[in-house]
Amino acid sequence: MLTKKQLDLLAFIQNRVARDGVPPSFDEMKLALDLRSKSGIHRLITALEERGFIRRLAHRARAIEIVKLPETLGGEAGGFQPRVIEGDRPASRPARAEMVVADAMELPVMGRIAAGVPIEAISQVSHHVAVPGAMLSGRGEHYALEVKGDSMIEAGINDGDIVVIRETQVAENGDIVVALVEDQEATLKKFYRRGGAIALEAANPAYETRLFPEDKVKVQGRLVGLIRTY
């Protein structure tokens, strides 16, 4: 049995993962539940983990994986599947039942995307990756990119992760997007409009927010999912 606060937090995490492909930060959780400090969030997270609803991935910022949901949130009978999946598991190590994906599609991996200093624009397919069909929500084509760098680590996106991107040329404030800067550099950042400028914001305090004239930034897609290999 979950308390109301525990249920509210689990629902908030589930909704944010479904929308953004990554879990919310502790600050976002604190604001959503109207708590005064992060210590209350830590206690709720610990309680949910002890009850088997979530799992925290060690040494990874904001890496919270939903393992199951109560029936009130569509769990069990609803057939919930975690949004973060693991790949390249050694044959001797059995896969967990909740990680089995029946409906999958292969997406092209279009090289590497910088989560740090922008790198050259991406245009070549390096290989393909199987992605759960449920992750490919919304209209438009999808593709995948391998992350290079640590500027998005507080958004739960680490160096070496594969991000799933839905092609689009529009974005809302706060969306994590693939941005093409001056038709030469591609980067994965949070998108914000500030007057006539575009701010590309990292999720790591070590990186400064970069401002560009609106006509110098083209949105090439929005983050919809994440694949992590161990």
Catalytic status, residue 148 = no
The catalytically annotated residue of 25, 148, 151, 190 is 151
Which residue is associated with the tokens 């507080």? 154
Write out the two tokens for 185. 């550099």
Q: Do the beta carbons of residue 11 and residue 24 sit within 8 Å?
A: no
Please count the CA atoms within 13 angstroms of the CA of 155 that sit on its side-chain side: 30
- Residue 127, classified by CB atoms within 10 Å of its CB into exposed (0-12), middle (13-18) or buried (19+), is exposed
Taking the C-alpha atoms of residue 229 and residue 99, their distance in angstroms, rounded to an integer, is 13
The catalytically annotated residue of 189, 190, 216, 218 is 189
Secondary structure (DSSP) of 158-195: -TT-EEEEE--S---TT-EEEEEETTTEEEEEEEEEET
Catalytic status, residue 189 = yes
Taking the C-alpha atoms of residue 86 and residue 84, their distance in angstroms, rounded to an integer, is 7
Active site amino acids? 151, 189
